[in-house]
Amino acid sequence: QPHLVESGGGLVQPGGSLRLSCAASGFTSGFYAIGWFRQAPGKEREGVSCISLTTGNTNYADSVKGRFTISEDNAKNTVFLQMNMLKPEDKAMYYCAAGYCSDEQWVPLGGAWGPGTQVSVSS
């Protein structure tokens, strides 16, 4: 069965950086894209970024453009999210998922989700 697990979360001051990792294992041959969602308590879940594993296309939420960068390591079957210039509003649980990714949309598919990693931004 496919398995995703996130790591790299933590507490950082505003303006700081974190690098999240999403490691995929198990049956992943059907994965076309991997990306990130986040959700804060009382807030709606929002798509953050994704990368297509077939085309390399990426997309980013407007709120993180210019600050976050998504990348992949094919050999390690891992997707990374480099988060720079973090803001308090970036505080959330970050989840990775498999799905469909294009320049226009990021859609989780198939029910493959990691358990999440917490990102906190505070002085």
Residue 1 contacts residue 31 (beta carbons within 8 Å): no
The pLDDT value given to residue 95: 97
Residue 77 confidence (pLDDT): 86
Q: For residue range 37-89, list pLDDT tens digits in order.
A: 999 999 999 999 999 988 899 999 999 999 999 999 988 889 999 999 999 99
* CA-based nearest residue to 113, from 43, 50, 37, 57: 37
In the structure, what pLDDT confidence band is assigned to residue 30 with cuts at 50, 70 and 90?
A: confident
> Strand pairing partners for 101?
106
What is the structure's pLDDT at 93?
98
Q: Which of 58, 60, 69, 76 is nearest to 5 (CA)?
A: 76
Structure tokens, 82: 């480099």
Question: What CA dihedral angle connects 30, 21, 67 and 51, to 10 degrees?
Answer: -10
Residues in the chain, overall count: 123
Residue 106 in this model has a pLDDT that exceeds 80: yes
What's the confidence (pLDDT) of residue 26?
80
Radius of gyration of the chain (CA): 13
Reduced DSSP (H G I as helix, E B as strand, rest coil) percent helix, strand, coil of the chain, to 5: 0, 55, 40
Strand partners for 24: 4
Look at residue 65 in the predicted model and tell me its pLDDT: 97
pLDDT of residue 76: 82
